[in-house]
Structure 1
Amino acid sequence: MKWYVIRTKPRQEQRALVNLQNQDIATYLPQITVGKVRRGKRVPVTEALFPGYIFAQLDDFAGRFHKIRSTFGVQKLLMFGDKPATIPDALIDELKTLEHDPITQATAEHQSSPQVGDQVEIASGPFAGFIAKIIDLDGDSRCIVLLDWLQKDVQASFSYTEVKKV
């Protein structure tokens, strides 16, 4: 039995996964937990590690090809010419091991982005080198910081790429 790569419709990985499992097809959707900003608060969100792709293990590819293609949530099977894309068992096993490893999950959450109250250093621009405190999160990619400039507290907005934790 080989693992095949299936392309799902946009944001329908879970739907494709459930519908393929209902057809007694062994499937795997690697997921990761990351911190996302929702209503100004950082919350952990579980999402697909490879958005738009899931893996299916089949013993009879030719017999199941049309069933898979017509499954709700599935867009197509990933092909290279007339050959389907396959994944080695060792790679799937490694992904499963990493997915359930608490250290890997904690590292992904920690590296996601700064939190409110964190001390950061401005990395680029006219305020490069200044130390600031994050006071608010402005969407998924920006934060509002409070920095001391000319003996006065000033609020400024920076991209997460422009700041680094101290």
Structure 2
Amino acid sequence: MSDPLENDDPPAWYCVRTKSKREHIAAKSLRQLEGVETFCPRLRYRKATRRGKIWWVEAMFPGYIFAFFSRRENERNVVHTHGVMTLLKFGDYVPEIPASFIAEMCRLMEEQESVEDDTLTLQPQVRPGDEVEIAHGPMQGMQGKVIEVLPSSERVKLLIEFLGNDQVIDADLFSLLLPNKPLPE
């Protein structure tokens, strides 16, 4: 079997394994190499903490980014770039990522309102009737049903059973655990 690098080597998308929590650093470093493009999709969401709600940014695929390059010309430079560990491999086989997958991911990212390139902002999605669990605060662990969503104040009204009676309470949208919902068909 011949080495695929000996033949014509057109650029392709590859999955690059990065150091933990360093995806954005690896992508920035790779962008400085001639003949290399990167795609590092990230998620931006609000998270409740002791200090209040803060914006949190994480990689959509923790530990991995995508890079477009010619392996013969750039593989050595890519794997020796700051923040990069290796290319995703299965034995000696290095799979190419279909360009259609990258294009679709980019299209989905562009449809969303992004604060910065390659970043998708997530908002909790609850609807009246959803069963939820309270994850933070004095009522942690209690379950209830959403009866109203107040998006402007990031709050919801829940119906919970407390001391043998149904009670309506206000809860922070970001303090709820949402149930696993089946994917739409």
TM-score, structure 1 length as denominator?
0.65
In the alignment, what sits opposite 1:33?
A: 44
Find the aligned partners of 1:56 and 1:131 in 2 and give their Cα distance.
Answer: 44
**Does structure 1 residue 46 correspond to structure 2 residue 57?**
yes
| 1:159/1:131 CA distance change after superposition, 3 Å | closer
Q: What is the alpha-carbon distance in structure 2 between the residues aligned to residue 13 and residue 67 of structure 1?
A: 17
CA contact (8 A) 2:16 2:84 kept: yes
Partner of 2:18: 8
Give the superposition deviation at 1:72. Answer: 1.1
Distance 1:121 1:13 in 2: 35
* Structure number with higher relative contact order (C-alpha < 8 Å, ≥ 6 residues apart): 1
TM-score, length-scaled by structure 2: 0.59
Out of 42, 46, 57, the residue aligned to residue 68 of structure 2 is 57
- Structure with bigger strand share is 1
The answer to whether the 8 A contact 2:132-2:176 is kept is no
Which is worse superposed, 42-51 or 10-19? 42-51
Residue-pair matches, total: 140
Q: Return 5+ residue gaps in structure 1 as ranges.
A: 114-118, 133-145
Q: How far has the Cα of 1:31 moved from its partner?
A: 1.6
Give me the CA root mean square deviation.
3.8
Q: Secondary structure at the match of 2:38?
A: strand
Provide the rounded CA distance (Å) in 2 between the counterparts of 1:101 and 1:10: 28
The answer to which structure has the higher helix fraction is: 1
SS of 2:123 mapped into structure 1:
helix
Which letter does structure 2 place at the counterpart of 1:65? Answer: E
User: Percent same amino acid at aligned positions?
Assistant: 27
Letter in 1 for 2:177: Y
- Runs of 4+ in structure 1 off by over 6 angstroms are none
**1:27–1:55 Cα contact (<8 Å) kept:** yes
Q: How much has 1:69 moved relative to structure 2?
A: 1.3
What residue number does 2:4 align with?
Answer: none
